[in-house]
Amino acid sequence: MRLSRYFLPVLKETPADAQIVSHRLMLRAGMIKQSSAGIYSWLPLGFKVLRKIENIVHEEQMRAGHIPMQMPTLQSADLWKESGRYDAYGEEMLRIKDRHDRDMLYTPTAEELITDIFRSNVSSYKDLPLTMYQIQWKFRDEIRPRFGVMRGREFYMKDGYNFDLTKEDALHAYNRHLVSYLRTYERMGLQAIPMRADGGPIGGDYTHEFLVLAETGESEVFYDSAVTDLTFGDREIDYDSVAQCQGVLEEFTSKYARTDETHDEALFNEIPEERRRVARGIEVGQIFYFGTKYSDALGAQVQTTEGEKVSVHMGSHGIGVSRLLGAIIEASHDDKGIIWPEGVTPFHAGIVNLKQGDAEADAACEAIEKALVAAGLEPLYDDRKERAGGKFATMDLIGLPWRITVGPRGLKNGVVELTSRRTGESEELAPEAAVAKLI
């Protein structure tokens, strides 16, 4: 991509109304523009990162055997009246009337809708287990939308739903989600810690929130510092193996890690004092087993081998896809701008031409661009006739992991400069060698 042809409306001034660093940087880097409170347009750079994150979520869900599908953003209120949640959901639900005066709503979550699809089509245990998911826009009329995409009103969320014959099977689905989420967040360069959360009115131990530690997080969290030593890494996992998934769950949830809703001071005090941590976190996902709550309410039943009709056991599992952009930036930035982890970066490298219009410099930049594209990478070539300082500032702000700086003086000695955004370290290399380092 040539920057001269791209749309990157970088802001020079720090937006006054943005309270946290990720919001400021997303605005300054021209990634989003607010359209009304908590509702954003995703400008090209932001949209590109959103898609990268979405793709990782898709890949990991499909790897776990979960089936992608898509449900509408607008729903009829009927199913919600049937489940009893139409009144219970309260002010966060955006209610709309269509021209025939029918009650509609913008979906805040989709348990009812998917349970209706299930009950209309599945009637035998033979069709179980089944887990379907979507990545779709949601709307919640948050009382205080803030922090940019972190707490939007319209936001992009992965929501998955499992249908199982027994509680044991549903708990395996729960564990599978936990494992797939660990992989998902790590691929984005994030540490998201599963923490025991509040099961709400249904109660029980079967819900975990995934939290990214950050001072700006809205949740207060309490944990044993030993949980931060755990990494999933690139271990192979058989998602059909009950024992393996259970083993991972135990490994990642046996140490104390809770949100303030479930915090237990006595248990916390059993941790050696030097390992006790009280901090703040950003909720980037939550998994939930809720048994037959919705299948009972909506009559989602299957016939067992004995011919008996039973309600299916269900769970739902969410990832805050659009919130993740904010969480990643909160976790990875410096005073010059964003530092994208390789897994989600909008472009792999920036090419800065120090003397646009100089035949040799232009040719060298174009050759590097071509070589990177041929290797399947996406470079962003700053081919504008701007001062070097401004070009560097833009590259630092938008946070691409690598910058290749090309100028007539270096080229006389046969070298370009390769700079790591994360460490700030530079080295001079032949152009081919710089390209080779990136592929």
Residues facing residue 278 across a β-bridge: 222
Asked if 261 touches ligand ATP (CB under 6 A), the answer is no
Asked if 59 touches ligand ATP (CB under 6 A), the answer is no
Choose which of 80, 106, 155, 161 interacts with ligand ATP (CB under 6 A): 155
Residue given tokens 């932001």 in the structure block: 46
Asked if 177 touches ligand ATP (CB under 6 A), the answer is no
> Residue 109 burial (CB < 10 Å; 0-12/13-18/19+)?
middle
**Residue closest to Mg ion when measured from CB atoms:** 286
CA distances to 54, 325, 343, 429, 438 from 188, in Å: 11, 10, 5, 29, 19
Residue given tokens 């390209």 in the structure block: 435
**Residue closest to ligand ATP when measured from CB atoms:** 320
Cβ atoms < 10 Å from Cβ of 373: 12
- Residue closer to ligand ATP, measured from CB, 160 or 399: 160
Q: Quote the tokens at residue 278.
A: 């009280």
Q: Quote the tokens at residue 260.
A: 């303030």
Asked if 286 touches Mg ion (CB under 5 A), the answer is yes
- Rounded CA-CA distance 375/366 in Å is 14
Question: Are the beta carbons of 283 and 194 closer than 8 angstroms?
Answer: no
Binding mask 106-145 for ligand ATP (x = CB under 6 A): ---x------------------------------x-x---
The entry of ligand ATP, Mg ion, none near residue 323 (CB within 5 to 8 angstroms by kind) is: ligand ATP
Choose which of 26, 157, 193, 429 interacts with ligand ATP (CB under 6 A): 157
> In 332-387, which ranges are continuous DSSP H helix?
359-374
The entry of Mg ion, ligand ATP, none near residue 157 (CB within 5 to 8 angstroms by kind) is: ligand ATP
Asked if 320 touches ligand ATP (CB under 6 A), the answer is yes
Binding mask 266-295 for ligand ATP (x = CB under 6 A): -----------------xxxx---------
- Residue closer to ligand ATP, measured from CB, 139 or 402: 139
> How far apart are CB 209 and Mg ion at their closest, in Å?
6
**Biggest distance spanned by C-alpha atoms of the chain:** 82
Q: Is 357 left (phi over 0), alpha (psi -120 to 50) or beta?
A: left
Binding site for ligand ATP (CB under 6 A): 109, 140, 142, 151-152, 155, 157, 283-286, 318, 320, 322-323
Binding site for Mg ion (CB under 5 A): 283, 286
